[in-house]
Amino acid sequence: MAHIHLPDGAFSIQWIITWWILAVIILGLCLYWLKKVKKIDNKTITLAAMLTAASFAIFQVNIPLFGGVHMTLTPLTGILAGPVIGSIIVLIVNILSAAIGHGGWGMIGANLLVNITEVTVAYGIYKALSKINLDTFSKAGIGTIIGLLFGNIAMLLIILISGIQGVNQDIQPLLYGLSLIAAVNMGVAIIESFITGYVVSYIKRVRPDILAEESHAGAK
């Protein structure tokens, strides 16, 4: 949901490098975990491929509100694939999006941090709510809302910390404008929470083995 739609040059080079370094460190830890801890099977690869395609496709559907907003399915990606594989998925989606002009190449690092936040928080909330007696739709919906909220907060912080070159505004007007964008994003996030809730509920009925909670139980 949250995405920094700024062209290359909007951030100074030191901040572009900073966000890229942080993103690369996180991705490096993910790849290390996948190599040393988690053994990827064909089912996981197939699921990751489908989530990448679905996320990229819906990412390009623009909702014409306040300059354009869109869904990303990052919470769904996190819930189904987990935060580690989910981080790899959002990397691919951001690279493909930049390749067709949806965001600058230099912004990929910052946008990865935003999207990884959404993936990780949504997964964490979903797993935490799984410990209480709550239906799947509610768990997925709540995880989506909170994940997207944290993603928007990450987006705001990155822009405020980096600043926008060529924009001479005090912090208060800039924060006000960014808050309006975040508010619109959260309005659309409600729609995405319903979609995610229905999708996860359907998968729980027809293919419960796809959900991490079910596969872990089966492993035991």
Beta bridge partners of 141: none
Interval 125-151: pLDDT, tens: 999 998 888 899 999 999 999 999 999
Q: How many domains does the chain have?
A: 1
Contact 11, 162 (CB under 8 A): yes
Quick one: pLDDT at residue 175? 80
* 127 part of a folded domain: yes
Strand, helix or coil at 134? coil
Q: Taking residues 26-30, report their average pLDDT.
A: 95
φ and ψ at residue 181, rounded to 5 degrees: -65, -45
> What CA–CA distance (Å, rounded) separates 57 from 70?
11
> What CA–CA distance (Å, rounded) separates 147 from 70?
15
* 2 part of a folded domain: no
* 24 part of a folded domain: yes
Q: What is the dihedral of CA 154, 159, 161, 164, to 10 degrees?
A: 170
pLDDT at 44 over 50: yes
* 62 part of a folded domain: yes
Domain that holds residue 107: 13-215
Longest pairwise C-alpha distance within the chain: 58
Q: 64 or 47: which carries more pLDDT confidence?
A: 47
Quick one: pLDDT at residue 186? 85
* 3 part of a folded domain: no
* 8 part of a folded domain: no
> What CA–CA distance (Å, rounded) separates 1 from 195?
13
* 1 part of a folded domain: no
φ and ψ at residue 205, rounded to 5 degrees: -80, -45
CATH of the domain at 49: 1.10.1760.20
* 19 part of a folded domain: yes
Strand, helix or coil at 69? strand
